[in-house]
Structure 1
Amino acid sequence: MSDPTFRAEQEAGRYAAHVRPVNELVDSLRDEHRGWMPHVAPLHGGIGAGVLSVLRDPGPATQDGSGSGFLCIENDDPTAERQLEMFDEVGVTPGDITPWNAYPWYINAAPKAAQLDAGVEPLVALLDLMTNLRAVFLQGNDARNGWSRLVKRYPDRARKVETVIATFHPGRQALFHPDPDVRRSRVEHRAAAYRELAGALDRG
């Protein structure tokens, strides 16, 4: 997103056909009560993506002005960079993915239980828009907790998802542990989850 040409392309495609329904959903969810949330960059697959990738909450690199204004794997932050590397290693492209968050509004903090509850309805609405969904990829505890809430509230909708894969958050903090064996195990778990995701898309 630091490349002006690339960023201009993303801004110009904000309501391209494959992301229009997603970004119109975002528009409908922005309000005075919960606040702002970023659009999904048209680099991603939008409603045609095979993967819905869920993290915790939008980070600073997604903000309008100081950031890109988009959820995008090309944002200028270490988490996006690491994701891009790991997806690339297993042959999953940005177009295979639609990024989202367990709490999709911007808070830049760990969501509380009530906020994870509030994130369920937007997540269900997004699932219903995605016409080619093969897998939900849950990265981190908050993503897993948000999905668990959806499963309890909408079990029939959750069962329609072919594959649900859960692993650690791609950020460096997810690996922090005093025991090197635990750190190694987390790295291996995350790598295996990305390979499993590629397999769900017939890429592995």
Structure 2
Amino acid sequence: MTRRMADPAFRDDQMRRIREPQVCAINKLCDQLMEELPGFSVPYIAPHYGAASAVILSLSSNPGPRAGGAKGSGLLSRENNDGSAARMGDIYETVGLTDAQIVPWNAYPWHVHETHPNGLPNNLIDDGLDALKRLLDLHPNIQSIVAHGGDAHRSVRQFMSKKRFGDYADARGLKAWNTRHTSNRAFILREPEKSIALEGVCEAYRDAMRHAGLTPLASLNGDDLVLLTGPELRAAARAELLPLLPGAVDAETRTSEYVHALPSQRSQRLLVELLLRDLAS
């Protein structure tokens, strides 16, 4: 099921249970983070997750309006009443992930969506790294991080750098996968592009599951996805990249993050197409 937070009874039940053992530690961390930055909320982790037993961390940018906003649930949950959460739930079901195996978090856990709706500046990415380290300390079973979108990609890259927590990540065998955000904007695509993009996210989770010792459900047969022509690949890349380029991060960084989040089959075909164009010019 998805979007169950739209039901006040379900939402109230989840909020009443935020001190249950499986989420007690992480929600105490949320309390501490709110005390350290008064005036900014940090959504709690919904108790339908088994955070204490999680082996995968799903990392996004910052809490959206349906989680931390005035009309939000106050919880990070795949059951929130928005398209991004619903899509995340569908992905988990597609790959065979259960709530006991995964926990959500944000590169910047405080709610700042209204002031930063199009991405986080570098200083906020940096400010969120310590909170991420504290979360990982509380959950030693986490072995894989799936980073959704450019902000999460930057967060993971900085976290795992030698200047920050690279040695820590290496010592506990942490590995990260960069993939597309699950927001509606990230999936404003026509078919078969939308199916290809969704399968790319699923494949990142399958790899993360294998690294964490889980067995994912089988992937969609690649033959079922219609391949795009070279011009279609270029047009799709342009349409997806242009909305991402304005903002604090330079175009080269955004483009690099976009390419790394592509399914391998598509990125290879796009490279071939661009090389052929270059050779023909």
What TM-score, normalized to structure 1?
A: 0.89
Q: Which of 65, 85, 100 does residue 80 from structure 1 map onto?
A: 85
| Residues 76/90 of structure 1: CA separation in 2 closer, same or farther (3 Å cut) | same
Contact 1:57 1:106 in 2 (8 A): yes
Quote the residue 1:105 is aligned against. Answer: 110
Q: Which moved more, 1:144-153 or 1:191-200?
A: 191-200
**RMSD over aligned Cα, in angstroms?**
2.2
Residues 1:88 and 1:181: Cα distance change in structure 2 (over 3 Å): closer
Stretch moving more, 99-108 or 23-32: 23-32
For residue 165 of structure 1, report the CA deviation from its aligned partner.
Answer: 1.7
The aligned residue for residue 62 of structure 2 is: 57
Q: Give the 3-state SS of the residue equivalent to 2:108 in structure 1.
A: coil
The match for 1:133 is: 142
Unpaired runs of at least 5, structure 2: 217-281
> In terms of mean alpha carbon deviation, does 185-194 or 140-149 score higher?
185-194
Q: Partner of 2:120: helix, strand, or coil? A: coil
Residue 173 of structure 2: aligned partner: 161
Cα 1:183/1:72, change in 2 over 3 Å = closer
Alpha-carbon deviation of 1:32? Answer: 4.4
Q: 1:70 aligns with which of 65, 72, 75?
A: 75
Aligned residue in 2 for 1:190: 201
Call closer, same or farther: CA 1:184–1:78 in 2, change over 3 Å.
Answer: closer
For residues 125 and 53 of structure 1, the distance between their equivalents in structure 2, rounded to whole angstroms, comes to 15
| Aligned length in residues | 203
Q: Of the candidates 183, 187, 194, which is equivalent to residue 171 of structure 1?
A: 183
SS at match of 2:92: helix
Which residue is equivalent to 2:95?
90
Specify the alignment match of 2:45 in structure 1.
40
Aligned residues with identical type, % of pairs: 31
Distance 1:32 1:103, change over 3 A: closer
Secondary structure in 1 matching 2:201: helix
- Check conservation: 1:136, 1:161, Cα contact below 8 A: no
Name the SS of the counterpart of 2:100 in structure 1. helix
Q: 1:192 is aligned with what amino acid?
A: E
TM-score of the superposition, structure 2-length normalised? 0.66
Contact 1:133–1:161 (8 Å) recurs in 2: no
> Larger relative contact order (C-alpha < 8 A, sep ≥ 6)?
1
| Alignment deviations for residues 22-43 of structure 1 (CA, whole Å, 9 cap, x no partner) | 1111111114457211111111
Aligned to 1:29: 33
Question: Partner of 2:160: helix, strand, or coil?
Answer: helix
* 3-state SS, counterpart of residue 6 of structure 2: coil
SS in 2 for 1:149: helix
Stretches of structure 1 lacking an aligned partner (at least 5 in a row): none
Structure richer in helix, relative to its length: 2
Structure 2 distance, partners of 1:46, 1:120, is: 19
CA distance in 1, matches of 2:42, 2:206: 30
Note if contact 1:91-1:198 (Cα within 8 Å) is conserved in structure 2: no
CA deviations on 1:129-159 (whole Å, 9 max, x unpaired) are: 0032131111111111011111121111121
Contact map agreement 1:49 1:95 (CA 8 A) in 2 = yes
CA radius of gyration, larger in: 2
Match of residue 203 from structure 1: 215
Letter in 1 for 2:44: H
Q: Which residue of 2 aligns with 1:151?
A: 160
